[in-house]
Amino acid sequence: MRLVNLLKSKIHRATVTDANVDYVGSIGVDQELMDRVGLLPGEKVHVWDITNGERFETYVMAEEKGSGAIVINGAAAHRVHPDDLVIVAAFVLTDEPEIPKQILVDEKNRYVRNL
């Protein structure tokens, strides 16, 4: 069996709403957006900052559904600032084709459309 790492989930052009260096770690994501792309609490994600080019990995924790929250916590808060635009992506190791769930959000992190 041959496994490949394929894109599973992507939230495109989300706006960072807060950055908290004193939190232990993770990225907080509005539960509604997590549901739309199939992200689970504790799941590993890549965060790519469109504004400044920073890239890092962390895990997801759910923020209040409908809040629009995208909160960068822990050490990564030094690399990303409120109002930065980011891409949040998760991958899956599989031996089957994967159709990724990808969404575009507006400046308030509200769902706009599937990509």
- Whether 112 is covered by a domain: the verdict is no
Compute the distance between CA of residue 86 and CA of residue 29 in angstroms, rounded to an integer. 12
Q: What is the pLDDT of residues 52-95, one digit of tens each?
A: 999 999 999 999 999 999 999 999 999 999 999 999 999 999 99
CA distance 32 to 35: 5
DSSP state, residue 57: E
Say whether pLDDT at 3 is over 80: yes
Domain count across the chain: 1
Query: What's the Cα-to-Cα distance from 34 to each of 22, 50, 96, 105, rounded to whole Å?
Result: 24, 20, 23, 12
Catalytic residue, candidates 9, 23, 59, 67:
59
- Asked if 67 is an active-site residue, the reply is no
Which CATH number characterizes residue 49's domain?
2.40.40.20
Tell me the residue range of the domain where 66 lies.
4-93
Arithmetic mean of pLDDT over the chain: 97
Catalytic residue check, 9: no
